[in-house]
C-alpha cells in the first residue's frame, strides 16, 4: 500500500467537508458541480493508495485515478462556463468535453497503438464543444471566437504529439488545458478582484502548470525529485479559493437582502426610506415636486387561496414587471408590504403625477396568465404630493395611505351598487 498520499487525502477531505457545510445552506447548480468535482478529486487521491502494480490491475488503478481527475476538471469547467444556464446545455457540454478526453486518456493507458484512434477523438474533442458553444452562446461571439482559438491550438498540439509517436503527452495536456480554461472562465464568471476569486484563479493556473512542468522535469532534469505535497499545493489553493468565494457570495447576498425583497428583488421598506429622503432632498434643492404613490392589490389574498402561493408568487412577479414598465428608470418601485407597493417619482406638477397614476392603474387592465390560469387582481392607488400634502416622509406616506384607503372604499361601494367591478380573481 502507498500511504504517502494519505495525508493529502485527509487534508483534502477536511476541506471538502468544510466546503459542503458552507455550500449546503445556499446550494446552487455551481455549488453542486464544485462539490461533485472535489469528491472526484478525493477519488483520484484514494486510487493512489494501492501499491503500484503492473498489468491489468495497474491499468485499472491508473484509469480510475486519471479519469476521476479529468471528470473533476470538467465539473469545475462547466460550473463557470458561459453557456446557457439551463441544465441540459451544460450536460451536453460536459459530455462533449469528457467523452473525448476520457477516450483519449484510456486509449493511452490501455496502450492503443493506432494513431487514427487518437486523431478521431482529437477531432471530436475539437468540434463537439465548439458546435455546442455556437448553438447556445451565439450572443457572445468574442467568447466563442476565443474558445475556437484555444481549442484549436490545444487540438493541434495533441495531434503533433500523436504524429511524433508520443500520444502520452496528450494526457497532461488535457489536464493542463482544463485547468487553464477554468481559470480564465472563473474570472469571466465572477468578475471581481476579491480574495476568494483571485486565490481560486491562481490555484487553477498553478494546477494547470503542474502537468507540463512535470513533463519538462522528467525529460530535462530526471534527477530532480519534487515532493507530492508541493505538486498538490495548487489543489488546496483552489479549494480555499472556492470556499472563500462561497462565503463572499453569501455575504453579498445577505447584504442585498437587507435592502431588497427576496421574491421580487424590489427595494424593501428600508431602502425605500433612503430613496424617499434622497428624492425629497433633491426636490428641495430644485424646488420641484415628488409624488408618493401607495399601491395595494385588491383581492390578492383570494388569488393565493384559490390557486396556491406558488401561482400567487409568479403572478406577483408579473405584477411587478408590469408596474416597472410604467415608470422611469430614475423612479423607485418598492415592495412595502405583502401585496403593497410604493412608487416614488420626481414630477413637474400635479398633472404629471396624475398621468403617472393613470399609467399605473392601467398596468393590470389585462389578466395575468399563470400556467394556463387566468388571474385578475385590481389596484387601489393613493397619491401624496410633496410639498402639497406634506414636507416629510412620514407625512407623505400617511397622506398616500389615506388616499389609497379612500380609493379602496370607493371601489367596494361601486361593487356594492351592482356596477361591474374592475377587479376579480
- What are φ and ψ of residue 301, in 5° steps? -60, -40
Q: Does 423 have pLDDT greater than 60?
A: no
Q: Among all chains, which residue has been given the C-alpha cell 428600508? A: 270
Average pLDDT over every residue of 262-291: 93
Average pLDDT over every residue of 191-218: 94
Q: How confident is the model at residue 307 (pLDDT cuts 50, 70, 90)?
A: confident
Q: Among all chains, which residue has been given the C-alpha cell 476579491? A: 194
Q: Are residues 215 and 303 in the same domain?
A: no
Q: What's residue 421's pLDDT?
A: 38
Domain boundary among 205, 237, 257: 257
Q: What's residue 187's pLDDT?
A: 92
Q: How confident is the model at residue 298 (pLDDT cuts 50, 70, 90)?
A: confident
Q: Are residues 105 and 176 in the same domain?
A: yes
Q: Are residues 345 and 233 in the same domain?
A: no
Owning domain of residue 236: 3-257
Give the three cell numbers for residue 11.
487534508
List, for residues 33-46, the tens digit of each pLDDT value: 898 999 999 999 88
Q: Are residues 292 and 403 in the same domain?
A: yes
Q: Does 312 have pLDDT greater than 50?
A: yes
Q: Are residues 227 and 129 in the same domain?
A: yes
Q: What's residue 293's pLDDT?
A: 95
Q: What's residue 85's pLDDT?
A: 61
Average pLDDT over every residue of 136-154: 76
Give the three cell numbers for residue 152.
484549436
| H or E stretch at 87 | helix 87-109
Q: Are residues 164 and 27 in the same domain?
A: yes
Sign of CA dihedral 214, 35, 250, 192: positive
Domain assignment present for 264:
no
Q: Does 410 have pLDDT greater than 50?
A: yes
Q: Are residues 251 and 274 in the same domain?
A: no
Q: What's residue 418's pLDDT?
A: 43
Q: How confident is the model at residue 420 (pLDDT cuts 50, 70, 90)?
A: very low
Q: What percent of the chain has pLDDT over 70?
A: 91
Domain assignment present for 423:
no
CA angle 395, 398, 402 (to 5 degrees): 140
Q: Are residues 166 and 105 in the same domain?
A: yes
Q: What percent of the chain has pLDDT over 90?
A: 54
Domain assignment present for 263:
no
Q: Count of alpha carbons within 13 Å of 219, Cβ hemisphere only? A: 8
Average pLDDT over every residue of 71-100: 87
Q: Are residues 314 and 341 in the same domain?
A: yes
CATH number at residue 403: 3.30.70.270
Domain assignment present for 241:
yes
Task: Give dist(CA 309, CA 318) in Å, integer.
Answer: 14
Q: What's residue 118's pLDDT?
A: 95
Task: Give dist(CA 402, CA 397) in Å, integer.
Answer: 9
List, for residues 332-387, the tens digit of each pLDDT value: 999 998 889 999 999 989 999 999 999 999 998 888 888 888 888 888 999 999 99
How much is the mean pLDDT over the chain?
87
How many domains does the chain contain in total?
Answer: 2
Domain boundary among 208, 227, 257: 257
Q: How confident is the model at residue 130 (pLDDT cuts 50, 70, 90)?
A: confident
Average pLDDT over every residue of 389-408: 92
Average pLDDT over every residue of 109-116: 92
Domain assignment present for 119:
yes
- Say whether 51 sits in a helix, a strand or coil: coil
Q: Are residues 184 and 295 in the same domain?
A: no
Q: Are residues 246 and 371 in the same domain?
A: no
Domain boundary among 206, 230, 257: 257
| Residues forming a β-bridge with 340 | 296
Domain assignment present for 421:
no
First and final C-alpha spacing in the chain: 71
* b/e code 118-146 from CB counts within 10 Å (16+ = b): bbebbebbbebbbebbeebbeeeeebbee
Domain assignment present for 274:
yes
Give the three cell numbers for residue 174.
488535457
List, for residues 46-71, the tens digit of each pLDDT value: 887 775 566 788 889 899 999 999 99
Q: Are residues 105 and 253 in the same domain?
A: yes
Domain assignment present for 314:
yes
Amino acid at each position: 500500500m502507498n500511504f504517502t498520499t494519505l495525508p493529502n487525502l485527509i487534508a483534502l477531505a477536511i476541506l471538502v467537508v468544510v466546503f459542503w457545510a458552507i455550500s449546503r445552506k445556499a446550494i446552487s447548480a455551481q455549488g453542486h458541480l464544485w462539490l461533485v468535482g472535489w469528491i472526484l478529486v478525493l477519488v483520484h487521491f484514494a486510487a493512489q493508495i494501492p501499491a503500484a502494480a503492473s498489468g491489468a490491475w495497474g491499468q485499472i488503478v491508473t484509469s480510475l485515478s486519471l479519469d476521476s481527475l479529468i471528470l473533476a476538471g470538467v465539473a469545475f469547467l462547466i460550473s463557470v462556463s458561459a453557456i446557457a444556464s439551463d441544465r441540459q446545455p451544460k450536460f451536453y457540454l460536459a459530455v462533449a468535453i469528457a467523452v473525448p478526453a476520457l477516450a483519449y486518456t484510456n486509449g493511452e493507458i490501455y496502450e492503443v497503438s493506432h494513431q487514427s484512434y487518437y486523431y478521431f477523438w482529437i477531432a471530436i474533442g475539437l468540434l463537439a464543444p465548439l458546435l455546442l458553444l455556437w448553438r447556445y452562446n451565439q450572443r457572445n461571439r468574442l467568447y466563442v471566437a476565443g474558445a475556437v482559438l484555444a481549442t484549436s491550438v490545444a487540438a493541434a498540439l495533441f495531434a503533433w504529439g500523436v504524429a511524433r509517436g508520443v500520444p502520452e503527452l496528450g494526457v497532461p495536456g488535457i489536464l493542463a488545458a482544463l485547468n487553464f480554461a477554468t481559470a480564465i472562465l472563473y474570472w469571466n464568471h465572477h468578475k471581481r478582484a476579491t480574495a476568494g476569486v483571485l486565490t481560486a484563479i491562481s490555484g487553477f493556473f498553478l494546477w494547470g502548470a503542474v502537468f507540463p512542468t512535470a513533463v519538462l522535469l522528467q525529460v530535462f532534469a530526471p534527477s530532480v525529485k519534487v515532493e507530492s505535497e508541493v505538486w498538490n499545493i495548487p489543489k488546496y489553493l483552489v479549494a480555499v479559493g472556492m470556499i472563500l468565494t462561497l462565503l463572499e457570495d453569501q455575504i453579498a447576498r445577505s447584504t442585498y437582502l437587507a435592502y431588497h425583497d427576496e421574491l421580487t428583488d424590489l427595494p424593501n421598506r428600508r431602502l425605500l426610506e433612503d430613496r424617499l429622503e434622497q428624492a425629497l432632498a433633491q426636490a428641495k434643492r430644485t424646488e420641484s415636486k415628488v409624488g408618493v404613490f401607495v399601491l395595494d392589490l385588491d383581492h390578492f389574498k383570494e388569488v393565493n387561496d384559490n390557486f396556491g402561493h406558488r401561482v400567487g408568487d409568479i403572478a406577483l412577479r408579473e405584477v411587478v414587471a408590469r408596474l416597472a414598465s410604467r415608470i422611469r428608470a430614475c423612479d423607485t418601485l418598492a415592495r412595502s408590504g405583502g401585496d403593497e407597493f410604493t412608487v416614488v417619482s420626481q414630477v413637474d406638477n400635479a398633472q404629471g403625477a396624475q398621468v403617472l397614476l393613470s399609467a399605473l392603474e392601467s398596468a393590470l387592465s389585462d389578466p395575468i396568465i399563470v400556467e394556463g390560469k387566468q388571474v385578475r387582481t385590481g389596484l387601489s392607488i393613493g397619491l401624496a404630493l410633496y410639498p402639497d400634502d406634506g414636507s416629510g416622509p412620514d407625512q407623505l406616506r400617511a397622506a398616500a395611505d389615506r388616499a389609497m384607503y379612500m380609493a379602496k372604499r370607493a371601489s367596494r361601494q361601486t361593487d356594492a351598487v351592482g356596477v361591474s367591478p374592475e377587479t376579480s380573481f
